[in-house]
Each structure stands twice: as structure tokens, then as C-alpha cells.
Amino acid sequence: MRKITRIGRGIIVLSTAMLFFSSCIELTEKVTVNPDGSGKIELKLDMGSLASALNSQNTGFDVSLIEKIRKTVREAPDILKDQKGIRDVISSSDDKNGVFIIRFCFDRSANLNKAVYLLMGAEKQGIFPDLYKITRHKVRKKDLGPFVQKAMKNVKSSGFNDMFYSVIYYNNIIELPSAVKSVKNIKSKTEGDRTVSTRLTFENMIKGHFSSGNLIRY
């Protein structure tokens, strides 16, 4: 009986692994900048066809980071309700299809940074590096690699988890109020004349292969 159970679990893990090779998880951070430095942000997690697989307890993958994101989305309106300079907070959770979204508007980048740190679980008081610094005709974005590395430091390395990180994609999209003049990140692409996008895997970020940081002039 135990042998059959082990075989069953092996089939589940193998099937999930095959699904991972043909699917991916998309974590998208989209920032729209207004001429006065205010703007809006949308944070979206889309697990696609992997949603049902990751809900299983027998896949062999460590999904603690995904669970933290799910929890944050559910609690976002309460987390940000008293945050200065933040308004129109909207969150939605679609567990069946694995799509989780947080949207809100900000009056300036300093308050955007504080709001994002709160969503990441940081305390209200403290000094943290700027994730975004939006000034006239310039957007500076900090590399998130060190934050991802810190979040995953207690997760045991394994073939399964390494494969898991290789199919989690981080997308950063920045929409600007005027035409892009220059972009520092070599992995970034300009779409049209006012949008800059960067796409990396979590594996890239954890191992420090590429930076998600950027300096955009417009």
C-alpha cells in the first residue's frame, strides 16, 4: 500500500513538473506616471494553468512565496486604508483561475514606496531604500533581486524549486507621460515611444544574473 502511495505521489510530481515546463507564472508590476509625478500602480499575479497544480499539497514545490502574495492581495485594502497619499485601492482574488490583482493611485513616489513596503510586510516606521524615485523627466527603479533573495533565503534548494523559479516571470512595465529618451537596463524594451518593459525570471533575480533596476529618462 505504501509503495502504491509513493508511486501515486511520484506521478503527481512528474505530471506537475511536465505542466511547469509548458506553463509559467506571471508577476507583473505596471506603473503609470503622470506629468506631475503622481500616478497609479497595478500589481498582478497570474498563475494561469498552474493554479490548480499549486493548490495541491503533494507537488513537491515550495509555494510559500505564492501563499504570501495571495494573503497580501486579500488584505491590501486594510493594509493601505490609512496610508498617506494613497487612494482608490482595489484588490481582486480569483483563486480558481489563479489571478490576483492590487491597484491604487499615489500622489508621489515617496508614498508609493511606503505603500509597497507595507504590502511587502515592512513596518510602518523605518528607513528603506526607494523602490521608485520619480522626478521631472526621470524614473529611477531599484533592483528587486536582493529582496527576492532575502525572501527565499530559508527555502531549501532543490531541483524542483530551481525549476519552479525558472517559470516565475517578473514583468515591470512603466508608462510615461512623454517619449522615452534613454533606458539603462539592457533587458528592457521600449514599446511605442512612452512605455518601457522589463522581463526576468525569478531564477535570474535570485542568482543575480540580471538586474530588475532601471534608470529611464523621458
Range of the domain at 94: 2-217
Angstrom distance (rounded) from CA 188 to CA 196 = 7
pLDDT digits over 157-191, tens only? 555 566 777 888 999 999 999 999 999 999 999 99
Asked whether the beta carbons of 131 and 141 are under 8 A apart, the reply is yes
Q: Backbone phi, then psi, for 171, in 5-degree steps? A: -115, 125
- The three cell numbers of residue 171 are 514583468
pLDDT digits over 69-90, tens only? 788 899 999 999 999 999 999 9
Question: What is the structure's pLDDT at 6?
Answer: 42
Question: What is the structure's pLDDT at 184?
Answer: 97
- The three cell numbers of residue 174 are 512603466
pLDDT digits over 8-63, tens only? 344 344 444 444 445 688 999 999 999 999 999 999 999 876 666 655 555 555 56
DSSP state of 213: -
Model's pTM, two decimal places?
Answer: 0.80
Higher pLDDT, 123 or 190: 190
First to last CA, the chain: 66
Question: Quick one: pLDDT band at residue 208, thresholds 50, 70, 90?
Answer: confident
Question: Quick one: pLDDT band at residue 155, thresholds 50, 70, 90?
Answer: low
Amino acid at 86: I
Res. 209: pLDDT tops 70? yes
Closest CA to 141 of 188, 194, 103: 188
Question: What is the structure's pLDDT at 53?
Answer: 60
Angstrom distance (rounded) from CA 207 to CA 171 = 17
Q: What's the domain count of the chain?
A: 1
